[in-house]
Structure 1
Amino acid sequence: MFKNYRLRDYDFKLIILVLALSAVGIMTIGSAEPAQQSRQMAGVAAGVVIMIALSFFNYSVILKLYWLMYIGNLVLLGLVIIMGEEGNGAQRWLKIGGLQFQPSELAKILLILFFAQFIMKYKEKLNTFRVIASIAVLMGVPWIMVLKQPALSTSIVLIFIFCVILYVGGISYKLVFGALAVAIPAVVILVSLAMQPDSTILETYQKNRILAFVNPEEYSTDLAYQQLNSVMAIGSGELDGKGYKNNEITSVKNGNFLSEAETDFIFAVIGEEFGFKGSIAVIILLLLTAMECISVAVRAKDVAGTIIAAAMGGLIAFQSFVNIGVATFILPNTGLPLPFVSYGLTSLLSLYIGMGIVLNIRLQARKS
Structure 2
Amino acid sequence: MFKQYSIRNYHFRLVCYVLALSVIGILVIGSAKASVQKTQIVGLFLGLIVMAVVSLVDYSFILRFSWLFYFLNLVLLALVEVMGSDANGATRWVSIAGLRFQPSELSKIIIIIFFAYFFMKYQETLNTIKILAASFILVGIPLVLVVTQPDLSTTIVTALIFVSLLFIAGLSYKIVLGVLAVSVPSAIIFLSLILQPGQKILNDYQYRRIMAWLNPKAYADDAYQQQNSIMAIGSGRLWGKGLNNNDIASVKNGNFISEPQTDFIFAVAGEELGFVGAALIVILLFLIVIECILIARKAKDLSGRLIACGMASLIGFQGFVNICVVTGLMPNTGLPLPFVSYGLTSLTTLYIGIGLVLNVGLQPKKY
Scaled by the length of structure 2, what TM-score is found? 0.98
Alpha-carbon distance change, 363 to 335 in structure 1, aligned in 2, over 3 angstroms: same
For 1:366, the equivalent position in structure 2 comes to 365
Aligned length: 367
Residue 346 in structure 1 maps to residue 338 in structure 2: no
Contact 1:10-1:363 within 8 A present in 2 as well: no
Secondary structure of 1:223's aligned partner: helix
For 2:78, the equivalent position in structure 1 comes to 78
Deviation of residue 260 (structure 1)? 2.2
2:325 partner amino acid:
V
Secondary structure of 1:16's aligned partner: helix
Secondary structure of 1:95's aligned partner: strand
Q: How does 1:48-127 map to 2 (within 5 A)?
A: 48-127=48-127
Deviations 1:22-55 (A, max 9, x none): 1011000100010000001001100000001111
Residue 304 in structure 1 maps to residue 303 in structure 2: yes
Deviation of residue 210 (structure 1)? 0.6
Residue 333 in structure 1 maps to residue 328 in structure 2: no
Separation of aligned partners in 1, 2:198 and 2:241: 46
- Any gaps of 5 or more consecutive residues in structure 2? none
For 1:250, the equivalent position in structure 2 comes to 249
Q: How does 1:156-175 map to 2 (within 5 A)?
A: 156-175=156-175
Secondary structure of 2:222's aligned partner: coil
2:313 partner amino acid:
G
Contact 2:300-2:366 within 8 A present in 1 as well: no
For 1:314, the equivalent position in structure 2 comes to 313
2:331 partner amino acid:
P
Contact 2:216-2:223 within 8 A present in 1 as well: yes
Separation of aligned partners in 2, 1:8 and 1:211: 49
For 1:191, the equivalent position in structure 2 comes to 191
For 2:132, the equivalent position in structure 1 comes to 132
Contact 1:297-1:309 within 8 A present in 2 as well: yes
Separation of aligned partners in 2, 1:48 and 1:323: 24
Q: Structure 1: which 4+ aligned runs deviate by more than 3 Å?
A: 4-10
Separation of aligned partners in 1, 2:364 and 2:186: 40
Deviation of residue 190 (structure 1)? 1.5
Contact 2:4-2:56 within 8 A present in 1 as well: no
Separation of aligned partners in 1, 2:361 and 2:318: 23
Separation of aligned partners in 1, 2:257 and 2:141: 36
For 2:238, the equivalent position in structure 1 comes to 239
Deviations 1:186-222 (A, max 9, x none): 12112222222232110001001111111112222x1
Secondary structure of 1:217's aligned partner: coil
For 2:32, the equivalent position in structure 1 comes to 32
For 2:15, the equivalent position in structure 1 comes to 15
- Any gaps of 5 or more consecutive residues in structure 1? none
Separation of aligned partners in 1, 2:327 and 2:10: 36
Separation of aligned partners in 1, 2:121 and 2:235: 53
Contact 1:264-1:323 within 8 A present in 2 as well: yes
Contact 2:54-2:355 within 8 A present in 1 as well: yes
Deviation of residue 97 (structure 1)? 1.1
Secondary structure of 2:250's aligned partner: coil
Separation of aligned partners in 2, 1:295 and 1:50: 22
Separation of aligned partners in 2, 1:239 and 1:350: 33
Deviation of residue 5 (structure 1)? 4.3
The percentage of aligned residue pairs carrying the same residue is 56
Q: How does 1:280-295 map to 2 (within 5 A)?
A: 280-295=279-294
Contact 1:9-1:362 within 8 A present in 2 as well: no
Secondary structure of 1:140's aligned partner: helix
Contact 2:239-2:274 within 8 A present in 1 as well: yes
For 1:264, the equivalent position in structure 2 comes to 263
2:105 partner amino acid:
E
Secondary structure of 1:263's aligned partner: coil
